[in-house]
Structure 1
Amino acid sequence: MTGIRRIFAALLACQAFSVQADCPEWPEARAAKEIARLQKQTDTWNMAYWQSGSSGVSDDEFDQLKDQLKAWQRCFGQDVTEPPIPALNGSTLHPVAHTGVRKFKDRQALVQWMAGKTDLWVQPKVDGVAVTLVYRDGNLMQAISRGNGLSGENWTAKVKRIPAVPKRVEGLLTNSVLQGELFLQEQGHIQKQMGGMNARAKVAGALLRKADSEMLASLGLFVWGWPDGPAAFPQKLALLQKAGFPLAAQYSLPVNSPSDVEEQRQRWFTTPLPFATDGVVIRSASEPESKYWQPGEGTWVAAWKYPPATQIAEVKSIEFAVGRTGKIAVVALLEPVMLDDKQVRRVNVGSIRRWQELDIVPGDRLNISLAGQGIPRIDDVAWRSTKRVKPEPPQVSYNTLSCYRASPACQPQFLSRLMWAGQQLHINGVGEALWRQLMRTHRLEHLFSWMTLSETELRQTPGISPERANLLWHKFDLVKQQPFIQWLKALAIPLNQKAFPALSAKRWSQVLRMSEQEWQTLPGMGKAKTSQLLRWLADPQIRELGGWLAAQGVPGFQDQ
């Protein structure tokens, strides 16, 4: 089935938009400007799509931004509009109109649509371009692009060069009209892993190009409509297969419940197929006579698309996170969106330089997807706000030796150092929120000041119950038993991770006495890394922290 955008508002009225529904607090002048810009862009994309088959943005991105436009129009009392249907060059009339399909937003919409219906079938929603094939006296006489559903481009010459399209048919198909999807043939395409791979745009390009394209030989055809064909769906599928249209028979399955549809949808999403797909189509075997078919009125067929691989999320604010080594990372806080089964509220932008290159400010909309291990990432900026106010990045020069002591300017890196030290010393159950609270309440002086907090002081910390204060006090006391290597890691010693197992020094005094040559014998410790380490060891605040840990009775820091 085609992924082409449907052209009538009635098909979309039942869908709840997934974009942020809260109305922005804009002055009327800004609202008018934002709405006008987005409306102009969606109209431009829509025009390009109908004229060339590809607009430069995905269907999902287009639909989400179109829904955002509608939301803004409702918020500010404007008429809710649909992108206009452009006047197309194609003047070849379809003998039977393309109705299009209603798209479900969720399982509940599917349940409501299926209620009371029988003899239903599910098919993959093949991602390609729709076409009408007209056979007369057994010969392929016309191939017409979908166009506006009533008329389209004459693609006959191009389609006749596609090996997968039969040029002659027999029997009941001798004088017939077929509707289907021209697609790029793939081997073992797994939609969940590979996505759409821009397949539809490639197909459209091959058909719209004036010169013949070698890609025509790589195209396939999935017939999903035989208007006025046999009433019995199995007979229809068998005759299509016999005539050289095998895919409908291979990929059409009877369904009796929403669960059947849901299970097959997931199966086709995760298993190899010979084409890209963007969902499933559910159709009733009972269809009206073709003379009653009209664009936007295919009530006997509907689609349930796959979850979008990307979601558009609004940027609420920009934060600058400082890591324990002093590296600054930019983080965009988002209006929450769902990707797969994950709610995404923040995304790492990267360095300040990348943030500046992407030019992201609060109010912008970002295309967010999930990278490996489900980590959110920015694919690109989907839409830019007219108001461009950038926050100032930190002016402090952070490095591997800064912020072992607390100060207002050092708060971000100092917090990162606390969190890192807690992880290395295996203080389970103490996260960022608690470290922040301890910083605020007790004004920690340096990286290990929390070790001296009494149980009474911990009980006085807002948000900490007496029971948790007791547990926390015991955890802080037990860190002295951690191995010496873990304390070096807690200090964030700039030592290559591969070097720790080979380190023979078991006490702080031994570490301080090691020579440059001894350090360079350890794995991963070149001249530059060793020079950095020696500078770190010679720093007065590091030496002072070592002496402080010795005074607290941490064994590895006490002289024997």
Structure 2
Amino acid sequence: MNFKDKPDTHFKSVDKLDKKEAAEQIDALREGINHHDYLYYVKGSPEISDKVYDKLFNRLEELEAAFPDLQTEDSPTRRVGAEPVSKLKKVTHKAPLFSLQATLEKEDIDSFLTTAQHKAGKDSVQCVLEPKFDGLSVEVVYKNGHFDYGSTRGTGEEGEDISHNLKTIRALPMELQHKDETPASLAIRGEVFMPKDGFMALNKRRIERGETAFSNPRNAAAGIMRQLESRHVADKPLDIIFYEILATEGAQPATHQEVLKQLSRWGLKTCDLNQSASTLKKIEQYHHRLAEERDDLDYEIDGIVIKLDDHDLRNAMGTRDRSPRWALAWKFPPREEITTVEDIVVQVGRTGILTPVALLQPVDIGGVTVSRATLHNEDEVHRKDIRVGDRVRIMRAGDVIPEVDERVKTPGKKRAQEFHMPDRCPVCNAEVTREGAYYVCTAGLACAAQLRGRIQHYAARSAMNIDHLGEQTANQLVERQMVSNLADLYTLAVDDLKSLEGFAETSAKQLHDAIQEAREPRLDRFLFALGLHHVGRRVARQLAEQFHTLDNLMKADQSQIEDIPGIGTETAMETEHFFRDPANRDVIKRMQEQGLKVHPMPRPEKKPLEGKTFVFTGSLENFTRDEAKEQVEMLGARATSSVSNSTDFVVVGSDPGSKRDEAENIGVECIDEKDFEKLINKHGKPAGG
């Protein structure tokens, strides 16, 4: 049987095969599938249709199910669906995985060549030039031509075993070609990376679901490859390139060019941009060419790697503690804050508001890699006339949230169509309605994105303060349909939580205990934790002080709420609607049945810092920013984000921004964290609630 060339997909019924016939067909199918994986994922030139490939794969699965004793670990069917590992084991590398010394200066390249020429006693030395992939460096080990295991670079001497996840990457062969020519043991080095189009698609899905986007493809690849369950990796767009033999039984090739040829002969993917050079001029031309072409490549590179070709010369050059002397990385200058809008996607927040987000070609802004930026709302997109494919200038508003500042005009370039918000929610497909400048999903907690967001917000430190309940855990609780509303959190058992990825007996018990301990909040904390539209911490405190108990607030009408100074009609209307909604009342009732007891808010008294205004800048050691604001607000003061003549105190932490200088220029008092603590303690530090 030959499934390599024009494979026949008309198969005899499995129950009519004896074991010998099944074994022969299984071997032939594995060989054929591996061959077509190589053509598709390594060579990029498939010879059969997806439909034919699926028939071959499904037939192999059917045979292995019927003859389970013929299953093998290196079968193509074992790439996905493997049992999750309990943790990532430590692995000692066959040989050190050195990091590369890097430079931005041409003079350092000249010095590198001069040193190598002197050591070789020649006027020129041959180098191999390669793109510097911005990915995850890995060691992959083969035994007798079969995949054995793979690990992360880690410390360079020791890494983590990620074999279960590497198997899901189709470009990585489970069996080498010409395996009769392979050494008994072979350790090679490669780079796992995420192609740009796959990265953009992944971030689009994450943003639409209300999850945090990955900042760049390298972080995405590194985070995904350390998952404990390969089923969460198998559908991710990962690829791998190989570029070095680390260790082998028997003789190594004499040059790096021969190594690359040998890797390719074994069916391992190498980079088609590699080339040789022996002069600084040729190296500079290569560096310049790739710097210009990097935006058009389907993967991220941040420079080039220059390696001596001759292995004897490499040995003569030797190594430093953590890097070889025979190789050097010449990095590209960081991209400026002007970049390209690759896509505009719509994110669904916990309150149902749809926000357009620009997915960007990653760009460095003040030392931070930015790959997404808010576009606020449809009106803002139209006002700035931002479209997919535009060049834009990015700014970080308040040094935190990246946003698109303006479009950079590119004369002569054809532009994409104007952006419009969707009519249906991108997560749950419910109807979308417009409320003022915003579009809102009408599904409420039936929308998975809103539910995930509400769980995260409910558990936040400034809300119910439930440790260990972050974004990833909230996602799993919703995806596995373990939580359909906030009341379900209190019904989760330790065994339920143990089934989540990343949890074992101890961590599951810790989360369970943290949820159970979050049963007696003060009213203002509980109101903020519920995540009502327009109800932040300040409004939650106003509501709690006015109505004192949860029962009183749930009975209040719009006019009573609107009578509170500073609360507008829209907030009052939204609050009344929330507590009159039968579904919300039912969730609160179920929470109370599970032991939730909301403590009344203390009656407001004259507060010692009433009328004072605080601004915080820099990082505080003993408070988060929200905690510091809560302290002053509980004492009657306001916390604002900008310095003005009405500011009374600017609290200065470590690494402060420009706000300290602004305060000093207009004569506003600046105090450090120690003085801030003395001030709030003097007036009676309020309970955290």
Which structure ranks higher in relative contact order (CA pairs < 8 Å, sequence separation ≥ 6)? Answer: 1
Q: TM-score, normalised by structure 2?
A: 0.34
Find the structure with the greater CA-based Rg.
1
